[in-house]
Amino acid sequence: MSSENTKKKEGIVPEPSLRRMPCYLAYLKLAKRRNQEYVSSTHIARDMGVDPTQVTKDLSYTSIVGKTRVGYEVNTLIDVLEDFLGFRKLDKAYLFGAGSLGNALLHDHGLDQYGLKIVAAFDIDPKVVGRTIEGVPILHVSEFEKMKDKNVEVGILTVPAEFAQDVAQQMAKGGIKGIWNFTPIRIRLGEDCVVQDTSLYAHLAVMFNRMSSIKK
Amino acid sequence: MSSENTKKKEGIVPEPSLRRMPCYLAYLKLAKRRNQEYVSSTHIARDMGVDPTQVTKDLSYTSIVGKTRVGYEVNTLIDVLEDFLGFRKLDKAYLFGAGSLGNALLHDHGLDQYGLKIVAAFDIDPKVVGRTIEGVPILHVSEFEKMKDKNVEVGILTVPAEFAQDVAQQMAKGGIKGIWNFTPIRIRLGEDCVVQDTSLYAHLAVMFNRMSSIKK
DNA sequence: TTTTATTAATGATTATTTTCTTTAATCGAA
DNA sequence: TTCGATTAAAGAAAATAATCATTAATAAAA
């Protein structure tokens, strides 16, 4: 019965830990540049201004094991983290909504480095459909259903708020397994499709609030 | 002494709550379109798939008060939220790093709606310095120090990782009070400057992880 | 008028996340 | 070899956030 209890939690990594991992990765890549062979959680923590035990706990979710009194091997840790985070294998993605924000994402080539390649974009606006942005063709949404490319599991949602839920449902129906949701709308879908919210404006709101706090 | 204890916490709004508020705002704007005059936390919660008490708790951080058995007035709540989140007054911002991601943000006009206007961008690459993207002039970083426009308190950080900490320090020195950090680097600064991390890749990592979970 | 159902608001409980503490390992210096 | 310093790892405690339960208010129906 103990195993029954832990089954649900087994293997699930806390979101805060997952969000910190790319920071460790960035730190490690800089350490590699400086030709550091080993780096300890103590140093990572000091340099990044976080708690040392948090670093070891976060890293313990991966397969890495550190050496007592030495730390972690930089190269190995980079490999393990990139692999763990899914940045190594390239995922193809469709982008839905080639408006202002969608356009913006099409201009960001950084995504490629992290394992995401936008292969097509969809919109309904005749002014953009048929065009190509940064090498990515913009098709009419109706084309999506015809494609059924089983290799494309990620969908980026950048449509106006009022269409978000509808389009998301189409995406899920069309075989999309992960929706990267840039709208401020909370998407409601079944269990077989993951929704990751990334509302830029939510972050802006937090920043504005914290800024007004320090003024007092 | 009780007031001594509560002083620190007084007025500080939990980040999870702040992040949810723009979602409520988006929901309310859609409700307004449907000509709904009042909306209850119960309905918001049901439609958005969250806990009803969480909605009332979140909203209680603002000045709004709901009517028992009726709910909240949609128009008032929109006004209060936009005001509370700082989306009403326009903040000017400088963008540091007009590379791929910086470029992308310059293409997103949605930011204007949420109270942020990029008035200038800075870079060191001679290929981009001097040009104009979407009406925003790109200047050499050395120009930043000369500007000292006290009305610009927000800085957007989209430089390569290795320059992030350095540029952030320059920003703070130049009077920037809030840094919207799009790099995966954890910035270390004094108390008088707020750093808001928004690493797209961190969100990507979470999505990849959750996607691999549902496959099992 | 009285009753019933619905709601905001508040306090209590539970779950999650972070921080603190301890332990065991081991490298390098004495 | 021996000792001290530094470390990863694991467990305990504290802080934080989410959920649950209760209360009081009130609009609408009986």
pLDDT in tens, B72-81: 999 999 999 9
Is residue A7 predicted with pLDDT exceeding 80? no
Q: Which residue has the higher pLDDT, B2 or B138?
A: B138
Cβ contact, residue pair A194, B205, below 8 Å: no
State the pLDDT confidence band at B9, using cuts at 50, 70 and 90: low
Provide, rounded to the nearest whole percent, the portion of chain A with pLDDT above 70.
95
Structure tokens at B97: 């790093």
Statement: residue A4 has pLDDT above 70: no
Disruptive mutation site among B108, B113, B152, B180 for chain A (greatest number of A CBs within 10 Å)? B108
**What one-character DSSP code corresponds to residue A70?**
T
Q: Pick the residue from chain A with its C-alpha nearest to B17.
A: A206
Q: What are the residues whose beta carbons fall under 8 Å from the beta carbon of A61, sequence distance 6 or more?
A: A13, A17, A84
Average pLDDT, chain B: 93
* B46 φψ region: left (φ > 0), alpha (ψ -120 to 50), beta (else): alpha
pLDDT tens string A138-148 = 999 999 999 87
Are the C-beta atoms of residues A95 and A102 closer than 8 Å to each other?
yes
Closest residue, chain B, to A16 (C-alpha): B206
Q: Is the pLDDT of residue B214 over 60?
A: yes
Residue A9 has what pLDDT? 54
Residue B2 has pLDDT above 50, yes or no: no
* Contact in structure between B180 and B105 (CB atoms under 8 Å): no
Q: How many CB atoms lie within 10 A of CB A29?
A: 16
Spatial contact of B27 and B50, defined as CB atoms under 8 Å apart: no
What distance in Å separates the CA atoms of residue B146 and residue A189, rounded to the nearest whole number? 52
Mean pLDDT of A180-203: 96
Under a CB-based contact definition with an 8 Å cutoff, are residues A209 and B26 in contact? no
Long-range contacts of B53-62 (CB under 8 A, 24+ apart): B54/B20, B55/B24, B57/B17, B58/B17, B58/B20, B58/B21, B58/B24, B59/B24, B61/B13, B61/B17, B62/B21
Compute the distance between CA of residue B57 and CA of residue B77 in angstroms, rounded to an integer. 14
pLDDT per residue over A8-47, tens digit each?
456 799 999 999 999 999 999 999 999 999 999 999 999 9
- The burial of A138, by beta-carbon neighbours within 10 Å (0-12 exposed, 13-18 middle, 19 or more buried), is given as buried
Pick from A120-129, A145-154, B196-205: least confident: A145-154
Q: What's the CA gap between A204 and B62, in Å, rounded?
A: 17
Task: Mark yes or no for CB contact B100/A86 under 8 Å.
Answer: no
Residue pair B161/A26 in contact by the 8 Å Cβ criterion = yes
| Site of tokens 């999505």 | B207
Name every chain B residue with its beta carbon within 8 A of the beta carbon of A106. 104
What confidence category does residue B24 fall into, taking pLDDT thresholds of 50, 70 and 90? very high
Cβ contacts of A101 within 8 Å, gap of 6 or more:
A158, A182, A200, B108, B110
Which helix (H) or strand (E) segment is A196 a member of?
strand A194-197
Distance of CA A102 to the CA centre of its chain: 16
CB contact under 8 A, A110 and B101: yes
User: At residue B169, does pLDDT exceed 60?
Assistant: yes
Residue A112 has pLDDT above 60, yes or no: yes
Q: Which of A48, A100, A202 sits opposite B22 (nearest CB)?
A: A202
Counting every residue, how long is chain B?
Answer: 216
Confidence of residue B123 (pLDDT cuts 50, 70, 90): very high
